[in-house]
C-alpha cells in the first residue's frame, strides 16, 4: 500500500473540502435565484388572469359570437338567421348593464337567397384601426364576419362607440358598419341543382 506523506494528505483534504464548499455554495445560490425567479413570475400569473378569447356558437336559427370592443370590454354579436338582423350588445364594465346596442340587417349585403331559411356562419377577429377615431367616437377593436352557406357570400361589420358615454351609464344605439364584402365562389364554381 502506498504511503502518503502528511503534507500531501493535508493538501488533498483541503482541496476536497474547498471543492465541497464551492459546490454547496453554488447549490444554495442556485436555489435562491430559482426561488426568486419563481416568485417574481408567480406575481405575474396571479388569478384572475385578463383573458381575451373570442367565441362563436351556432344554432339552427341563431348565431352568437363575442369580440373585443375596447381594452377589457367585449361585445356580444347576435345574428337571427330568420330575419337577418345582426346586433351587438356592449356591457358597461362599471355597472355590468347593457351600455350599447348596435344593429344592422345582413340580408341585402349578403344577397341571401333563402330568406327565413338561411344558414349562416359567424365569427369575430381582432382588428386594430390606424387612427379611425372621429370626435368622441372610437372604432371597436374587432370585426364580425358572416358568411351565407347557400351563396358563399361574406360580409364584415364593425362599430364605433363613445367610451365616455358608456362609462357614464348612457345606453348607446347605433349602426353596425359594413367594412368588407366578398364572395368565396367564383363564376366557374357551380352547385348541383
Per-residue pLDDT tens over the stretch 182-192: 888 765 333 44
List, for residues 57-94, the tens digit of each pLDDT value: 888 889 999 888 887 788 899 999 889 999 999 887 77
pTM over 0.85: no
How many other C-beta atoms lie within 10 A of the C-beta of residue 141? 19
| Contact criterion met (CB below 8 Å) for 148 and 129 | no
- Given this model, what pLDDT does residue 58 score? 80
φ/ψ of 83, rounded to 5, equals -105, -20
- Given this model, what pLDDT does residue 31 score? 59
The secondary structure of residue 170, as a DSSP letter, is P
Half-sphere exposure of 147 (CA within 13 A, CB side): 10
Question: Which tops the pLDDT comparison, 119 or 112?
Answer: 119
CA distance 142 to 130: 13
Long-range interactions of 38-47: CB distance < 8 A, separation 24+: none
Amino acid at each position: 500500500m502506498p504511503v502518503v506523506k502528511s503534507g500531501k494528505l493535508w493538501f488533498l483534504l483541503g482541496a476536497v473540502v474547498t471543492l465541497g464548499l464551492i459546490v454547496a455554495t453554488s447549490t444554495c445560490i442556485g436555489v435562491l435565484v430559482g426561488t426568486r425567479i419563481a416568485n417574481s413570475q408567480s406575481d405575474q400569473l396571479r388569478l384572475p388572469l385578463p383573458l381575451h378569447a373570442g367565441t362563436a356558437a351556432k344554432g339552427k336559427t341563431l348565431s352568437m359570437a363575442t369580440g373585443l370592443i375596447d381594452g377589457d370590454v367585449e361585445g356580444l354579436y347576435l345574428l337571427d338567421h330568420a330575419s337577418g338582423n345582426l346586433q351587438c350588445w356592449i356591457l358597461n364594465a362599471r355597472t355590468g348593464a347593457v351600455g350599447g346596442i348596435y344593429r344592422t340587417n345582413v340580408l341585402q349585403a349578403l344577397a341571401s337567397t333563402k330568406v327565413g331559411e338561411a344558414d349562416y356562419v359567424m365569427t369575430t377577429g381582432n382588428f386594430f384601426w390606424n387612427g379611425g377615431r372621429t370626435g368622441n367616437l372610437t372604432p371597436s377593436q374587432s370585426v364580425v364576419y358572416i358568411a351565407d352557406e347557400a351563396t358563399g357570400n361574406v360580409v364584415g361589420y364593425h362599430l364605433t362607440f363613445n367610451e365616455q358615454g358608456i362609462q357614464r351609464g348612457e345606453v348607446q344605439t347605433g349602426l353596425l358598419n359594413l367594412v368588407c364584402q366578398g364572395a368565396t365562389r367564383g363564376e366557374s364554381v357551380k352547385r348541383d341543382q
